[in-house]
Amino acid sequence: MITLTLAEIAAATGGKVLAAATAPPLQEEARRSAGATSADAVQVTGATVIDSRDVGAGDLFVAVPGERVDGHDYLHAAADRGAVAALVSRHVPGSPVPMVLVADAQIALGVLAREVLARLRSAGELTVVAITGSVGKTTTKDLLAQLLTPLGGLIAPAGSFNNELGLPLTVLRATPSTRVLVLEMGADAPGNLTYLTSIAPPDIAVVLAVGTAHLGGFGSVEGIARAKAELVQGLRPDGVAVLNADDVRVAAMSALSAGAQVRTFGTGPDAEVRAEEVSVDATGRAAFTLSIDGVCAPVQVALVGGHHVTNALAAAAVCLTLGLSVEEVAQRLAHAGALSPHRMHVRTWGERTVIDDAYNANPDSMRAALDALTAIAAGRRTVAVLGEMLELGDIAEQAHEQIGAYAAEHADMIVVVGAGADGIARGARSAGAQVRTVADVKEAEELVVTDLGPEDVVLIKSSNSAGLAVLADRLVADAGDAEELA
């Protein structure tokens, strides 16, 4: 983050600076070395963090109340690790660090991020790229992080920092040397993206797809489309909307761009950035010809799964907008692998293969993962270990049964984990599949390890809170000499 005094932070957030009660030696030394004669003059020279375990020297600790813990109880822990100040929404008696007292620390975090971004934009060239969609946000963000890194001055979130806490924390990582800030913007209710774009209005807004993820929070697919369109509506006046021409709901968002430039990507003839001659090899990796304005280059995608063509095209469209050539984009896509954990990571030991895609799940990503299972297996025995898909609202039962039927076409053996995924078992059995149901991850591990054949290919897929990521880690740990393929 840029260096700020507590007086500046208070002015930006409408807060009040409160002096520390008793500062530990580390904080006193930092205050004296910075020449601070009062709490107002204390400088934050490090990062902004919400987890006291992540605090380093010079950091600002934001005390956010959570479901299980309250950050206000951890000011001493943050101070011990080097925090010089805390952003709080209530006074903490005996605080070892000076505090900026605000009405709501979480809202103030977003306000501070907005102020810092505005300062950086006024001081130099900075492009904000924001990505949303029902599927593919994190993968596309990871692709861009790799494709754009050679340009220098890049900031992108680790993992899925895409909500009202993660996004401002990512923005606050930016410094005067930042040239491209890549942000992932998620939504589980109307208005989420309007709020996030109010913090960081994008120069380039990427919309990948409108699916059924978080359907329970929107009521309908049309409601999801309206929510995703908030990103385009939040564009800066001279911005660029990068839209998926293969998704009719996304393509229709061009009418909402309010005069901003529109760049489309897809596999159809109307897409500006286009994938032609798409194929998927025996390892599950896609290849295509990248075409724009008559200029073409062959692309071999490093990621596993034919569905990543959409993500690769979206990343390519952004890179081309930022000045990279078609040839440069094609070359870099060949080396851009999976960065975030539990997203189509393919690991092997001996002749066995595990496809770990257990971070999240919705009907669209489930089908894509099952397609990848078939492609990678290439005739070998397939095992699909599937858990619950969350936040689907009224269609949850139907969606799970449909996925079960789809899994029956792609897996020789289906293991359904947890009562919430019972619909998958019903759908698969109705389609004539061999199905085993287990109560939890421990039972799933015992079953899979016992029944796994020497050349089987195993897919592990569920929503994150279903816990199957733990199973993927355990299976790989059991392998001992597991090799990462992607």
Q: What is the DSSP letter of 11?
A: H
291: enclosing H helix or E strand: strand 285-292
**Binning pLDDT at 50, 70 and 90, where does residue 278 land?**
very high
Report the run of H or E that residue 131 belongs to, with start and end.
strand 127-132
* pLDDT for residue 486 is more than 50: no
Q: What is the pLDDT of residue 212?
A: 67
pLDDT of amino acid 387? 96
Chain centroid to Cα 310, Å, comes to 16
Task: Dig out the tokens for 321 from the structure.
Answer: 């907008």
Quick one: pLDDT band at residue 94, thresholds 50, 70, 90? very high
Torsion sign across C-alpha atoms 149, 267, 340, 478 = negative
- Segment 435-451 mean pLDDT: 93
End-to-end CA distance of the chain: 32
* More reliable by pLDDT, 75 or 481: 75
For residue 436, the SS3 value is strand
**Average of pLDDT values for 324-350?**
87
For 338, left (φ over 0), alpha (ψ -120 to 50), or beta?
beta
Q: What is the CATH number of domain 124-333?
A: 3.40.1190.10
The tens digit of pLDDT for each residue in 160-180 reads 788 999 999 999 999 999 999
Q: Which two tokens stand for residue 433?
A: 């599949």
User: Hey, what amino acid is at 13?
Assistant: T
Q: With a cut of 50, say whether residue 404 has pLDDT above it.
A: yes
| Nearest Cα to Cα of residue 482 among 343, 385, 353 | 353
**Per-residue b/e over 327-349, b at no fewer than 16 CB within 10 Å?**
ebbbbbbeebbbbbebbbbbbbe
Looking at the chain, which residues constitute the CATH 3.90.190.20 domain(s)?
345-484
Residues of the chain with CATH 3.40.1190.10: 124-333
Return the HEC string of 225-255.
HHHHHHHHHCCCCCCEEEEECCCHHHHHHHH
Cα–Cα dist 250/120, whole Å: 31
What mean pLDDT do residues 376-386 have? 94
| pTM of the full structure | 0.85
CATH class name, domain 345-484: alpha beta
Q: Where in the chain is the domain with CATH 3.40.1390.10?
A: 4-103
Rounded Cα gap, residues 125 and 150, in angstroms: 17
The pLDDT of 100-104, averaged and rounded, is 97
Weakest-pLDDT range from 40-49, 101-110, 218-227, 387-396: 218-227
Please provide the CATH number assigned to the domain covering 4-103.
3.40.1390.10
> What was the pLDDT predicted at 64?
96
